[in-house]
Amino acid sequence: MSIFNGKIKQLGMAAIDGGLVLSAFALGVYLRFDWNVPSLWMDRLEGLLLPAVIINLATYYLFGFYRRVWRYASLDELMLIAVSVTLGLGGTYLYSLQSGMLPRSSYIIAWFLLLFLIGGSRVSIRLLDNFLSKPKGSGRKKKALIVGAGEAGVLVARELKKHRHSLELQLLGFIDDDLSKQKQIIQGLPVLGTKKDLENVVKLKQIDKVIIAMPSAPYSTLQELVGLCGELGVKIMTVPGIYEILQGQVSLKTLKDVDIEDLLRRLPVKQDLELISAYLAGKTVLVTGAGGSIGSELCRQIAKVKPEKLIMLDHDENGIYYIEHELTHKNGDVTLVPLVRDIQDRASVEKVMAKYRPEVVFHAAAYKHVPLMEMNSEEAVRNNIEGSKNVIDLSSEYGVKRFVFISTDKAVNPSSVMGATKRAVEIYLQKKARSCNTCIYCAVRFGNVLGSKGSVVLLFREQIAKGGPVTVTHPDMERYFMTIPEAVQLVIQAGALGKGGEIFVLDMGEPVMIVDLARDMIILSGLKPEEDIKIEFTGLRPGEKLYEELFNERENFTLTRHERIFIAPDTDRDEEVVEQELKALRQKLGLETGD
């Protein structure tokens, strides 16, 4: 029935256009002769009208006039009308060369009339829709303001104006710090001021909702806006990242409430896909710790490059089950090998190496919780050092070509057992890189990732959901943060850059105060810090530092060809000393007997 109605509408529009074509040509001739048309020209006009209608309607049909929704007509559609009218009139003129021409001036008059009539009919549809369509529901429309009058803001305004009735939303204008845009009209909306004027504009215009359309703005700017909007009691929404904006992927579905990930968002990672594909596509790739936050994301992104085989290894059976189930549905053409193994069991890992012969290894398996590892230091050493040593040694024995170890900023000047174990593996890996000519070993060091299992963000969300309090260890505590996909993209890129022995350090941006993070998350939950949700300081836990470092004082980083990946210098350690210290550690843990 809907198809039938659509056909009737199309025929109706074509009939109207046919009448407009007749009117334009007739008026063109009548105006040319000041309403006194000689009989010769009248005969020619009558003979040309039907062919003119057929030629012009055929042209309009070919240009998709009757498949378009004209109530959303924009400048692009008006340009299409101009081209179609010109071609249709040109076709009519060529036909009249054989059947009998009208005065040339009448064609020019008809061209202007057709532009006016055909274009005007489409604009009228849009105007009628604007004034006659009634919004669904009742009550006052919510007033909205867009912060950012750039490309993203314009795209958002255009999208929201298309659906303003169903949204019951009234856009009142833009806020932008660009002085050249002040008091300008963009998409029919005024630029009402800069960020400094936001508070006054919100109060004066009684704004209900603020849409932040600055996908590449720094954390400090977004934090300032979120804090101000929270104080003003207005709802905050945001747009996708800059990559989606550039791809034109802005719609009502992509507008969403601001989340903490949006505040820490940076420019997208630039990946050398050709280089990445060269060392992953068509290869057998092993990911240890594949059930964890970083490991599972590594599997997702590696699967997209189409390896020949993806071996997913973890001692957590639930984690392996979930990632294997997910990738089976998303990447069914990739051979997946889910394995429940413990890297501390050298014999078990060796069987995996011998059977599958991986060419690339991403080693993400590790215990990572700082206070917990202080209480379980022996297990931290067994898993993080001995387990890693198993994977590193077996990789060289079984022909692995490239090995990437996931390290942490806590390995720099470590104050915790967890950090010390990671630093020990970095040192051992560099030692191995110097002695092995068949495998490229490298490590990637970065800070905290948002949303990982056990992360502070998940803890804060849980505490806010329970009504508080939100617990912060110290008012001066700060950390580096990345989103999980962002960190993994850089890890894969760093793996492609490795030549042997590098400790790659990722650009984490500016460190974030944890107490600010807590306040922002409370505000984004629609609550007010200290009034609705209390913030309590609990004191530093064992092994924690107030701030983390990406390089130690003795390290002078060097640049790579990727602007967000750096290299910490090689660790100058005597290999015999390293072996002696590791041997002593194993003896202390009962993993090796003394001589």
Lowest mean pLDDT among 183-197, 479-493, 537-551: 537-551
Give a yes or no: residue 346 inside a domain. Answer: yes
Q: How far apart are CA 83 and CA 483, in angstroms?
A: 48
- Does pLDDT of 130 surpass 80? no
Give a yes or no: residue 491 inside a domain. Answer: yes
Note whether 371 and 308 are same-domain residues: yes
Read off the pLDDT of each residue in 346-366 and give the average, rounded to a whole number: 96
Note whether 90 and 211 are same-domain residues: no
Note whether 11 and 86 are same-domain residues: yes
Lowest mean pLDDT among 10-19, 45-54, 63-72, 99-108: 63-72
- Does pLDDT of 63 surpass 80? no
Q: Give the pLDDT band (50/70/90) at residue 246.
A: very low
CB 129 within 8 A of CB 165: no
**245 is in which domain, residue-wise?**
142-258
**Letter for the amino acid at 10?**
Q
Note whether 334 and 380 are same-domain residues: yes
Give a yes or no: residue 239 inside a domain. Answer: yes
Out of 132, 156, 181, a domain closes at 132
Out of 213, 229, 258, a domain closes at 258
Task: Quickly count helices (H) and strands (E) in the chain.
Answer: 22, 22
Name the nearest CA neighbour of 89 among 119, 53, 64, 62: 53
Residue 247: its pLDDT value, please?
42
Note whether 222 and 302 are same-domain residues: no
Note whether 292 and 378 are same-domain residues: yes
Q: What Å distances lie between residue 497 and 25, 404, 486, 491, CA to CA?
A: 69, 11, 17, 10
Give a yes or no: residue 539 inside a domain. Answer: no
Note whether 381 and 296 are same-domain residues: yes
CB 202 within 8 A of CB 287: no
Lowest mean pLDDT among 230-234, 297-301, 542-546: 542-546
Q: How far apart are CA 240 and CA 254, in angstroms?
A: 6
Q: How far apart are CA 575 and CA 432, in angstroms?
A: 9
Note whether 373 and 248 are same-domain residues: no
CB 456 within 8 A of CB 472: no
- Does pLDDT of 593 surpass 70? no
Note whether 347 and 279 are same-domain residues: yes
Note whether 126 and 146 are same-domain residues: no
Note whether 282 and 413 are same-domain residues: yes
**Letter for the amino acid at 332?**
G
Note whether 167 and 46 are same-domain residues: no
What residues have CB less than 8 Å from 127, skipping those under 6 apart? none
Q: How far apart are CA 518 and CA 170, in angstroms?
A: 32
DSSP characters over 502-546: EEEEE---S-EEHHHHHHHHHHHTT--BTTTB-EEE--PPTT--S
Give a yes or no: residue 198 inside a domain. Answer: yes
Read off the pLDDT of each residue in 474-490 and give the average, rounded to a whole number: 81
Tell me the three state secondary structure of residue 177: coil
410 assigned to active site:
yes
Tell me the three state secondary structure of residue 248: coil
Give a yes or no: residue 476 inside a domain. Answer: no
Q: Read off the CATH number of the domain in which 418 is found.
A: 3.40.50.720
Out of 223, 258, 293, a domain closes at 258
**HSE value, Cβ hemisphere, 13 Å, CA-based, for 420:** 14
Q: Which of 410, 431, 432, 545 is catalytic?
A: 410
Residue 251: its pLDDT value, please?
46
- Does pLDDT of 342 surpass 60? yes
Give a yes or no: residue 532 inside a domain. Answer: no
Q: Read off the pTM.
A: 0.60
Residue 104: its pLDDT value, please?
80
Total domains in the chain come to 3
Give a yes or no: residue 470 inside a domain. Answer: no
